[in-house]
């Protein structure tokens, strides 16, 4: 599309490039969860591109477009669907960061945002806030919808913290050396994921480092437009992570794709090269392990029927479709079941559950139904957001279907095999 963007934002060239390459063909509509749900152009990828273009051209006040931009899940399903190669992620992330600086939110919303900014990145504080939230859950109905959504996502009680040692030696012949980026929300909600990941890696002959001084990757902060804070957190990790590892492993899809956005986050910063090096090193757990291959023995004594739930930030943002499935297919006695609309977002998407509870609930419901239709014994995903969303969906339907992180399932497969041999 032709445009006349005059914005002097530092990322205006990236935004302009994305807009330019859009030919408005509409192929993205089929992939977009909000379009599937609402059926309106302004709630579609190409519609949002038009809106952002008009705002950047100063033809439309940002406030008028905001509701539709906010509704975007950032699931990036439109990116692989786009034949023109529009870098929608670059546009959206840059635009949101730019707008966030200028926007005035309604008071209650602002409180919720502050809560996100000041708690989510810090596992300890988050644990505290979650406990406080549990107290508030009794008052659920009296609270505004976004709050209620946030509280609903929290489990009845937080699991105990599972501290990891700074170094887990490789078992057997050493095949590699990695560091684990623990992340924030996930470490509070489900510390077992990183624990399982570290065990599985070690069992596969990988030396695992878990630097204690690391921090949140900053991705959530970038999402809500707090760029400087996001960079500050990222820089802590540049310092904390050892340089001589094969890869920096993340078990949270959002961290992986968020770190891919460092090029935008650090544009024009003196340490942009360091940021690029760092983000190049970051790999999702499933991608790394699929590349090195699983070591025997592992597996289940009886058939386990498993649905793999694609996290948008793995499937669309990082292109990881085959890798997790390759891992699962290597597990003896595991049957991988296909589901309808596998590529469609479950509605979790970062802080979306908090910002857009109604659409998130609808998408979560659709996903739960298509999974249940396959009648699995367990659901596996690579992202804490999906896991939390699906658990809540199944609980509200009275279904006791376990939802696990792929690292947890692998851990089970190893311990099961050890127990039975």
Partner 1 sequence: MKNAHPLLQALEALYPPERLLTRDAQLLTYESDALTAFHSKPAAAVIPISEAEVIETVRLCHQLAVPFVARGSGTSLSGGSLPIADGLLVALNRLNRIKSIDPEQRIAVVEPGVVNLHITHAAAPYGLYYAPDPSSQSICTIGGNIAFNSGGAHCLKYGMTSNHVLGMKVVLADGAVTEFGSDSLDGCGVGPDLIGLFVGSEGLFGIALEITVRLLPQPERYRTLLAAYDDLGKAGDAVSRVVASGMLPGAIEIMDRLAIQAAEAAVQAGYPDAEALLIVELEGEAPQVEAEFAQLQAMMRASGAFELRSARDEAERARIWKGRKGAFSAVGRLSPDYIVQDGVVPRSRLGEALTRIKALKTKHQLEVANVFHAGDGNLHPLILYDGRQPGALEKAEALAGEILALCIKLGGSITGEHGVGMEKRDYMPAMFSEQELDIMQALRRAIDPKEIANRGKMFPSGEAPALQQRGMHPLERQGVISRE
- Positions in the binding site for partner 1 (CB under 8 A): 1-2, 20-27, 29-30, 39-42, 44, 46-47, 50-51, 54, 60, 64-65, 67-68, 82-86
**Separation CA 344–CA 371 (nearest Å):** 12
Q: Which is nearer to partner 1, 124 or 322 (CB)?
A: 322
CB of 319 to partner 1, least distance (A): 11
Q: Residue 76 in contact with residue 257, Cβ under 8 Å? A: yes
CB of 152 to partner 1, least distance (A): 25
Q: Which is nearer to partner 1, 6 or 420 (CB)?
A: 6
* 166: DSSP letter: S
Q: Which is nearer to partner 1, 65 or 198 (CB)?
A: 65
CB of 67 to partner 1, least distance (A): 8
Q: Which is nearer to partner 1, 3 or 391 (CB)?
A: 3
Instruction: Classify residue 411 by burial, with Cβ atoms within 10 Å: 0-12, 13-18, 19+.
Output: buried
Q: Which is nearer to partner 1, 320 or 407 (CB)?
A: 320
Q: Which is nearer to partner 1, 65 or 387 (CB)?
A: 65
CB of 23 to partner 1, least distance (A): 4
CB of 11 to partner 1, least distance (A): 19
Torsion of CA 370, 375, 377, 381, to 10 degrees: -20
DSSP string, 83-145: TT---HHHHHHHHHHHHHHHPPPPHHHHHHHHHHHHHTT-HHHHHHHHHHHHHHHTTGGGS-H
Burial 157-180 (b: 16+ CB within 10 A, else e): ebeeeeebeeebebeeeeebbbbb
CB of 87 to partner 1, least distance (A): 11
> What is the distance of C-alpha 418 from the center of its chain?
32
């Amino acid at each position: 599309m032709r445009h006349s963007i005059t914005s002097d934002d530092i990322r205006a060239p990236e935004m302009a490039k994305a807009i330019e390459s859009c030919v408005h063909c509409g192929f993205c509509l089929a992939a977009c969860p909000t379009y599937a749900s609402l059926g309106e152009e302004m709630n579609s990828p190409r519609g949002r591109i038009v809106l952002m273009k008009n705002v950047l051209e100063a033809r439309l006040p940002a406030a008028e477009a905001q509701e539709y931009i906010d509704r975007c899940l950032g699931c990036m399903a439109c990116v692989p669907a786009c034949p023109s190669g529009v870098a929608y992620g670059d546009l959206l992330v840059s635009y949101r960061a730019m707008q966030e600086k200028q926007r005035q939110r309604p008071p209650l919303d602002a409180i919720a945002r502050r809560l996100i900014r000041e708690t989510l990145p810090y596992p300890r504080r988050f644990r505290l806030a979650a406990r406080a939230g549990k107290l508030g859950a009794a008052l659920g109905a009296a609270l505004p919808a976004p709050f209620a959504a946030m509280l609903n996502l929290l489990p009845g009680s937080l699991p105990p913290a599972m501290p990891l040692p700074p170094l887990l030696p490789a078992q057997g012949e050493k095949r590699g050396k990695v560091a684990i980026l623990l992340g924030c929300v996930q470490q509070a909600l489900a510390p077992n994921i990183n624990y399982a990941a570290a065990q599985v890696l070690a069992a596969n002959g990988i030396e695992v480092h878990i630097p204690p001084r690391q921090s949140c990757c900053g991705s959530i902060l970038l999402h809500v437009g707090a760029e400087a804070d996001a960079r500050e957190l990222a820089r802590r990790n540049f310092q904390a992570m050892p340089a001589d590892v094969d890869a920096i492993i993340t078990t949270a899809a959002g961290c992986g794709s968020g770190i891919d956005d460092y090029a935008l986050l650090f544009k024009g910063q003196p340490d942009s090269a360091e940021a690029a090096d760092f983000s190049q090193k970051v790999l999702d757990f499933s991608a790394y392990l699929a590349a090195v291959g699983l070591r025997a023995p592992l597996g289940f004594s009886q058939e386990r029927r498993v649905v793999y739930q694609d996290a948008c930030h793995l499937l669309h943002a990082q292109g990881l479709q085959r890798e997790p499935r390759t891992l699962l297919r290597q597990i003896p006695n595991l049957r991988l079941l296909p589901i309808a609309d596998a590529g469609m977002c479950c509605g979790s998407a970062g802080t979306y559950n908090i910002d857009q509870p109604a659409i998130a609930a609808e998408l979560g419901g659709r996903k739960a139904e298509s999974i249940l239709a396959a009648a699995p014994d367990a659901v596996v995903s690579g992202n804490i957001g999906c896991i939390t969303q699906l658990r809540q969906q199944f609980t509200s339907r009275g279904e006791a279907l376990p939802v696990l992180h792929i690292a947890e399932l692998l851990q089970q497969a190893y311990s099961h095999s050890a127990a039975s041999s």
